[in-house]
Amino acid sequence: MPVLLSAPSAVDADEFVAAVLASRDLHGPWIDLADTPARYHRYCERVGEPDHAAFLVRHGSCGGLVGVINVNNIIRGALLSGSLGYAAFASHAGRGLMTEGLRAVTDVAFGALGLHRLEANIQPANGRSRRLVRRLGFEKEGLSPRYLLVDGDWRDHERWALLVERWKAPPPTVTATARPEED
């Protein structure tokens, strides 16, 4: 399914805030997105800094917002790493569009941004998010206790990562006896 990526800008504020408000049940305890024009403006300022890259994911046909994906805390030098943050919007959820959006952002991260490593830190009970990164080849590296302050609580997060070498490698051959990894 085709998706389009664009940088968030001031003209997207009303549409973004409306999508966030309509997606509260989907976002649940996992993420706290900009839900007012003022918060959206601060978000745009933050992701406009050189150590961030932000992308709105839009449906290729209707142009509606599918979700948002950020590459945060980009570190250059010997590490060449960034941390992913992302959220789908309810209007297009469950159609595989965020998988396509994250695939496109990963191409940008390992291509134009020149990164070597992408990391996604996911709360253990967030099965949808874990399945999303697993579909793209991310591997679980461990657990970070009380890693991130979310909605007033320090929450544990699983650390998932993908290296450029694995991204660019041909996919492994699947045999008839292979069993998919369970949640």
Average pLDDT, the chain: 90
Instruction: Report, at the CATH architecture level, how domain 3-168 is classified.
Output: 3-Layer(aba) Sandwich (3.40)
Which amino acid is residue 69, in one-letter code? I
Model confidence pLDDT, tens digit, residues 89-126: 988 888 889 999 999 999 999 999 999 999 999 999 99
Q: In what order do the strands lie in the sheet with 81-88?
A: 3-6, 53-59, 65-75, 81-88, 117-122, 153-163, 139-150
pTM, rounded to two decimals: 0.88
